[in-house]
Amino acid sequence: MEVQIHPSWKEVLKDEFTKPYFQQIVTFLRSEKAAGKTIYPPGSLIFNAFEQTPFENVSVVILGQDPYHGPGQAHGLSFSVQKGVKLPPSLVNIFKEIKSDIGVDMPAGMGDLTHWAQQGVLLLNAALTVRAGEAYSHAKYGWADFTDAVISKISAEKENVVFLLWGKFAQEKQGLIDATKHHVLKAAHPSPLSAHNGFFGSKHFSKT
């Protein structure tokens, strides 16, 4: 599997690409493809977060759990969708909190957050692929080892990065982050099921 990733990340993560768990990921994805399964995002976009946000530019990390599993949605950036795709409910709530917190209206119908990524916001999902229509279907095949390593590398090698941990799953990653040199902000997940339990009013955008 050719890893389409920014050279800065290729250097930082070079040891990870040779570890057994990463070979397990490659083998699993090949088996899925051989079985005729549709995988999101497309292969060229699996590492899009790293391509759009070079290691040296990372100033904020927003951690998601799983890529969107509907057609045309996922493009390798957590919470983001491709241009022209209907905004998912969690992203609608993120935009509502931005408006409430800092008074900025996001462009109507524009759920592509590539411009955030290009400004230093690493939009990282814990699993980088998913089987079409099956949430969390690739979560247990090695991706967590890889993305945990990404978080650990950022924590160890950078300073003053803001980590936005929304929801229980993201907050379980807090142990990978050195809070003495980084800023960790926690809130409920922006999903409609939990946004009113502490995401709305968290003011994470003005604090970042």
State pLDDT tens for residues 52-90: 999 999 999 999 999 999 999 999 999 999 999 999 999
The identity of residue 195, as a single letter, is: A
Say what the pLDDT of residue 3 is.
Answer: 73
105 as an active site residue: the answer is no
Q: Tell me which of 15, 66, 112, 178 is the catalytic residue.
A: 66
Query: Structurally, what CATH architecture does the domain formed by 7-187 represent?
Result: 3-Layer(aba) Sandwich (3.40)
pTM of the prediction? Answer: 0.96
CA atoms within 13 A on the CB side of 183: 12
Residue 89's CB is within 10 A of a number of other CB atoms, namely: 13
Per DSSP, the chain holds a count of helices (H) and strands (E) of 8, 6
Domain boundaries, the chain: 7-187
Is-contact 121 98, C-beta < 8 A?
Answer: no
Q: Is the pLDDT of residue 1 over 90?
A: no
- Alpha-carbon distance 124 to 108, whole Å? 24
Model pLDDT for residues 4-30, shown as the tens digit of each residue: 789 999 999 999 999 999 999 999 999
Which helix or strand (DSSP H or E) is residue 46 part of?
none
